[in-house]
Amino acid sequence: MEEVITSRFSEELVKKVDQAVSQGHFKSRSEALRIIIENYLQEHPELFLGNKVQTLLDKSPTLNDEQLEQIGTNLFKGTSVAKLVAEGRV
């Protein structure tokens, strides 16, 4: 079951969404916002780790750069650890 939510957006953001809809990228504003939010949340799994991050860090072994990069790539779907750090995501 889908739930309806109400939100406020700047005029500039609404214009961008409307432009994407008018160009045929989305069927409606609703679809555009739903897909944009879903994609953002998929790209940022760290948002759902909560307090588990510190627990994992406390229990984790010390890793070299190569091991850290490999784990990061697996956890964050191909995004490099260096990029995540540069973006302030980890």
Q: Which domain holds residue 19?
A: 11-43
Whether residue 4 is contained in a domain is answered as: no
**44 in Cβ contact with 84 (< 8 Å):** no
pLDDT attached to residue 89: 67
Residue 70 and residue 53 share a domain: yes
Whether residue 30 is contained in a domain is answered as: yes
pLDDT attached to residue 22: 98
DSSP-assigned letter for residue 27: S
**18 in Cβ contact with 29 (< 8 Å):** yes
Average of per-residue pLDDT across 14-21: 97
Please state, for a pLDDT cut of 90, what percent of the chain lies above it.
42
Residue 34 and residue 63 share a domain: no
Residue 53 and residue 81 share a domain: yes
Tell me which residue of 84, 83, 76 sits closest to 43, measured CA to CA.
Answer: 76
Whether residue 23 is contained in a domain is answered as: yes
Whether residue 6 is contained in a domain is answered as: no
Residue 55 and residue 29 share a domain: no
Q: Which residues contact 32 (CB under 8 A, 6 or more apart)?
A: 17, 20, 21, 25, 26
To the question of pTM greater than 0.85 for the whole model, the response is no
Average of per-residue pLDDT across 30-39: 95
Whether residue 60 is contained in a domain is answered as: yes
